[in-house]
Amino acid sequence: MGTTTESSVIDTLLSLPAIRHRAGIVYEAAKQGTLNNFDFHPEALPKAADLVASIISRDFGPERFSHIPPHGRWQHFEVGAIPRVSHLLHEWKTEGVDDFECTRRLIDLFFVSVLLDAGAGDSWLYTEPETGLKFGRSEGLAVASLYLYQNGRFGSSADGAVTVNGRGLQGLTEAVLSQGMQVSSENPLTGLEPRAKLLQAFGASLLVHPQYFGDEGRPGNLVDYLTSRQSGQKALQVVDLWNILQSLLIPIWPKDRTRVFGEPVGDAWPLKCLGDSVEMKSTDDRVANIQPFHKLTQWLAFSLMVPFERVLGYTWQGSNLLTGLPEYRNGGLFVDTGVLTLKPEVLKRGQKVSGTALPMFEVADDAIVEWRALTVALLDEMHGLVSQRLPLSLSMAQVLEAGTWKAGRELAAQHRPETRSSPILVKSDGTVF
């Protein structure tokens, strides 16, 4: 890894506090008008908050605010008002499976499903075999991954039960994934090959962490590791989950991602305005210009927490450390409501790439990194503003689920009905968004 000092620098970039702290510095630059790619319009924030609060009230109403689920993969499996996860649990319990094994199986499923949950593109659809219903984007990816899981494509145990394990994932081919996700020339899926490679690398990483996942590298064994450390208490620590996820996932990301002292740091990228900020320049920080996000890892953390709560009755301490997710629905909300606008020269540069009115940039482009950092900070602002507008204070996870993500999607449908795409297009490789 390098020297102790180098290790501590990398540990900082991999930590949750660094995400919010550095995004806050970018937000200050927005307030001061010193961003490189965007102009910030704070006067538009209250109306954006009104919209988010109205969507939450429309869908839940005062009498159901307390029933808003936390943001997580569970809801995506239930698209079309079909309780697929509940059906699975009922089936397993009918077979005599206890709550701990049910939770292990859900953790198995949620791990692989979230890792497949990058942007699917605007045209891909999954046709559910049992219902004939068609789903796209995150929900389509969720349902597709559920059928892949049920068909044993991610591994099986010695007794023939469907599970997920390291060797099963290592053996997953692009062809099997393509067939399971119904990919064809008429139904293209963004980043199919990188997704397959990501799951293969995930399988290898599971096998080198037997202390958490057992000799077979089963994701669900995380249930045993975390609950065994609690001495009978029903509270788990988010930071424990986070540290495990980072040690597991950082090595599997594509090799061309950001590296610090030769080591990968995952979803973390150079950002000019951060490196130029007075606060970062005044420190002895050798990675002052790196903005971490770890979006997919945070999405995984949000998702994995839910089965522990719903099936086993555990609570989580430290969930406030998790940030809002810097992805295209949440980020699109702030662009479509006019809170953020691309500077004219940056807009033209992105339009030249896309050849359309919608700008397009690479994942590592300074414009995208700046947009994502602003999204993290603005989601904190939105959380506070929405809470002021509702009679019951909601968690960040609830505001993401019932408000910002949904608002971003609905605005996309209104402004771009043919594609429902983000107002800013990202050339994704299937492993970031």
pLDDT of residue 391: 86
For the beta carbon of residue 126, count every other beta carbon within 10 angstroms: 25
pLDDT of residue 160: 66
Write out pLDDT tens, residues 176-190.
Answer: 999 999 999 999 998
Higher-scoring residue by pLDDT: 8, 160 = 8
Write out pLDDT tens, residues 134-143.
Answer: 999 889 999 9
Which amino acid belongs to residue 375?
A: T
Query: Tokens 């150079």 map to which residue?
Result: 270
Write out pLDDT tens, residues 111-132.
Answer: 999 999 877 877 899 999 999 9
pLDDT of residue 280: 81
Residue 90, C-beta contacts closer than 8 angstroms, at least 6 positions apart:
none
Average pLDDT, the chain: 92
Is the confidence at residue 3, as pLDDT, over 70? Answer: no
Write out pLDDT tens, residues 363-409.
Answer: 999 999 999 999 999 999 999 999 999 988 899 999 999 999 999 99
Write out pLDDT tens, residues 313-362.
Answer: 999 999 999 999 999 999 999 999 999 999 999 999 999 999 999 999 99
Contact 403, 55 (CB under 8 A): yes
**Can you read off the two tokens belonging to residue 203?**
């399988």
